[in-house]
A and B are shown apart, each in its own frame.
Chain A
Amino acid sequence: MKSCRLLIITLGLLLSGLGIAAESERQAYDDRYCTTCHGTDGKGNEGVQAPRLAGMEQWYLERQLNNFRAGLRGVHPQDIEGIAMRDMATQLSDDSIADIIAWVASWKYVAAEETIEGNANAGRQLYATCATCHGNDGEGNAALGAPALAGQNDWYLVTQLKNFKAGYRGNLPEDGYGQQMRLMAQTLVDEQRILNVVSYINTLTGDR
C-alpha cells in the first residue's frame, strides 16, 4: 500500500512537470489535500464554504472531480469556491482521483448541523419536484445520477441552488446532469423558496 502511494506521488509529480530534482531531497506531499478545506474527516467547513464529503456517493464524487478537472464545473467567474476547487482538481491524475475517492470512503457519515432558517412545511411541497430524482427521503438515486441531499451542509445546498439558477453551474452542454439541474432550479423563483426547500431537506434522513 505504501509503495502504491509512493508510486502515485511520483507519478503525480512527473505528470505535473514538477519532477525536477530527486524527490527524496524534497518535502513532497501527496494529493490528499481535501481536509484542509473540507474539514476533519470531510465533514465540511462553513468557514471556507467547502461542503461535507464524508458519506458522499463514490460515483458522484468521481463525476464531480472529473467535471472540475475537465472544466465543466468551477469555470464561471462568479463560482468563487468552484474556481478554487477546479484549480485543485486540474492537478489530479486518474490514480490520485481513485486514491482520494477511496480515502473519502473511509470517513464516517455524520449529518451536517443546521445553519439556515426557512419554512420547512412550505419547502415540503417544493421538494416534490426534487424527490423524483433525489428520492423521497433525500437518499439519492445512482441510476438517475442524482446524489443524496440529506445530511449535506444546508448553506452549501443554498449556494449550489443559487449557482444553478444563475447559470454559474450547469451552464455547459457537456454537463448534462448540471443542465438538467439548472432547469429544475428555475422553479425556485426567489431566495425564500430556496431557503424553504433546503429547510425541508434538513428534516430528511436519507434512509440512514
Chain B
Amino acid sequence: MAEFVSRREFLNLLAATGGTAAALKAGAALGLLPGGVAAAALDLVNPGTAGRRVAILGSGISGLTAAYELGKAGYDCTVLEASHRAGGRIFTVRHGDLIDEIGNRQYCEFEDEPHMYFNAGAARIPSTHRNLLHYCKELGVELEVFVGENNNAYLQDDSLLDGKPIRSNDYKTNVRGFLAEMLAKSMSSEEIDQPFTETEAEQLLGMLREFGDLSEGDLYRGSLRTGYASGGFLTHGVQKDMLAFRDLLTGRVGRNALAGFEGDYGPMLMQPTGGMDKIIAGYTRVLGNRMNYRAMVTAVQITEDGVDVAYDQDGVRHTLQADYCFNCIPTHLMVGIEHNFPADYVKAMKYVQRGRAYKAAFQARERFWEKDDIYGGISWMNNRSAQIWYPFHGIHKARGVVLGAYDYGGGMNHTEMNQAERIESHLQDGEKIHPNYRNLVEKPITIAWHRMNHMLGCSARWSRNFRTGWTHDEEALYRTLQAPVNGRHYFIGDQISMHSAWQESAIMSAQWALANLDERVRAKSA
C-alpha cells in the first residue's frame, strides 16, 4: 500500500542521507571506496540527552579512538581496561615498566633515559596510514623518521656464504647486477625484442644497465655501489670483489633484503619521538578520568535498549549500564567472559586464531652497531630470533636498546622456552652477526604476546591458509563479527579488519563502527 511521506519523515530521510554520506566518507578511508581522499574526519552528531552512555571495553587504539571521537560528539564514555596500562599491543618498554607475562613477570631495568626504550608491539607508521597520522597530528604527537631498511645492515644464514654475515648492500647490488646482465644478454634474442619497438628495446637496455650497474659489453663486473674495499676519499677507491651469483642463491634470508622492505614496510616510515605509546598518551590526556585501569570485564549482556557490563576492580564487582558498547577485547578472551551474544557471533569469535608474534630486546653497553657503520635499520637472520633492530634514536649516545629478536609469528619457539633459554637463544643467534654480542648486551626483556596477561595473543589470524588467502566462509564470519548486535554492541580493533597487526586497521575498524552508529542516531534523532 502506497503511503504519503510526511514532511517530518522527509526530514528524517534527509538526516539519514546525511548519515549515509558520513558513512561513505568513512568508507573511503576504510578502503571500501577508491582512495585519494584525505583521512576521514568523523563528524558524529550529538546524541542528545538520551542514549549517550557508552562503554568502551579495552583501551587498545581502537577503543581509545572510539572514546575520543564519541567524547568530542557529546557522548558519555567509560573506558574499562583490564591491565595496569593503556594501549594494548601499543607498548613501549622503558625503565621500571612491568612486563606482565603470565608465568614470566619481568621488570625493565634499562637506564632511565628518554632514548632507552623499544616498542614491543606496534613499531612503524607507514606514510599511507592516513588515519593514524591524522590522530597523531590532532593529538600533537611528535613524529620522527623510522629507519627500517639499511644497506649497511646484515643478512646471516648458515647456508649462505658459510654463515658469514653479508651486508644487505653487497647482496642486493650483486643480485641486481647478475639479474640485469642475464636480461641484457637475452635482449639480443628476437623473442624478447619482438614485443618492443627498436626505441623501446634500447630504453629497456638502458634501464637494465642502470638497474644492475653493468659495465661495457653489458657484463656485471662488480659495482662501487657496495662501497669501497679501501680508499675512495683521498685516494682512488678500490672496488670490492664481485661475489659469485651461485653463492647468493642459497639460503632464504637474502630474499628478505629484496622483499622485506616493500609495501607497508617500505620507506618512508615514521615513529613517535620517544616511543609509540606517545600516541596512547595523547588519547589518554584527553580522556582523563574516563579511563579505568585494572577493571576486568566479567560480563556483557545486551538488553533491548542497551548493554549491561559487569567488571571487577579492587576486588569488587561493579556494573555499568550503557546505551552502546564498543568492544576491543580480543575475541578469544571474550569467549570466556559471560555474554549473551547470538550463536553466529560466537561461532565467528571462536574461529579467529591468536597471533604468536614475539620480540626481545637488550640494553647495549655501547652502541656497537655505530662502530660498524650501522645507524638504525634491521638485520635479518635465518634463525628463530629472525631480526635485529638497531636503534636510530639516541645516535652517538653512550648506550641504546637493541631489539634482539622479532619472530613475527611462525611458531611458539621462544614463547615455550623459559626466560633463561630465550635469552641464550638470542645471544647465540646474535653473535653470528656480531661476534662479541654476548658481552655487549645486558638487561634482557622478552615479550611473548601469546602469554601476555589480558591479551594472550598477538594480532588476530582469520585466514587459515596464508597462501590462498581468505575463503568465502571466513569473509562471512568476519562480516558477522563486524556487524553490530542489536545495534548496541560493536566489536572493534585490528581483529575486525582484513589487515590485522596495524594501528591503521584498528582505527579504521573503530571509524567504521562509529559511522554505522552515527547513521542510525541521525536517522532516529532528526
Contacts and interface: CB of A to CB of B under 8 A. Distances in A.
Contact of B451 (A16, A20, A21, A87): A87
Interface residues of B, number: 34
B416 interface: yes
A63 B31 CA distance: 54
B456 A36 contact: yes
A119 B332 CA distance: 29
Nearest to B415: A84
Contacts, number: 90
Contact of A35 (B98, B296, B350): B296
B333 interface: yes
A39 B336 contact: yes
Interface in B311-363: 331-338, 349-350, 354
A63 B338 CA distance: 28
A162 interface: no
A48 B451 contact: no
Interface in B87-118: 96, 98, 100, 102-107, 109
A25 B103 CA distance: 21
A50 interface: yes
A43 B109 contact: no
Interface in A19-49: 20-21, 25-29, 33, 35-41, 43-48
A90 B336 contact: no
A80 B331 CA distance: 20
Contacts of B103: 84, 87-91
B336 A29 contact: no
B443 to A, nearest CB: 11
A69 to B, nearest CB: 11
A48 B333 contact: yes
Contacts of B82: 36
Given A20-B109, A48-B332, A87 B298 contact: no
Contacts of A28: 98
Contacts of B334: 47
A43 B336 contact: yes
A83 interface: yes
Nearest to B451: A84
A4 interface: no
18 contacts: A18-B105, A20-B107, A27-B98, A29-B100, A29-B453, A35-B296, A35-B298, A36-B82, A40-B299, A40-B336, A40-B337, A45-B333, A47-B334, A48-B333, A48-B335, A48-B336, A48-B354, A84-B103
Interface of A: 16, 18, 20-21, 25-29, 33, 35-41, 43-48, 50, 77, 80, 83-84, 87-91
Interface of B: 82, 84-85, 96, 98, 100, 102-107, 109, 296, 298-299, 331-338, 349-350, 354, 412, 416, 418, 451, 453-454, 456
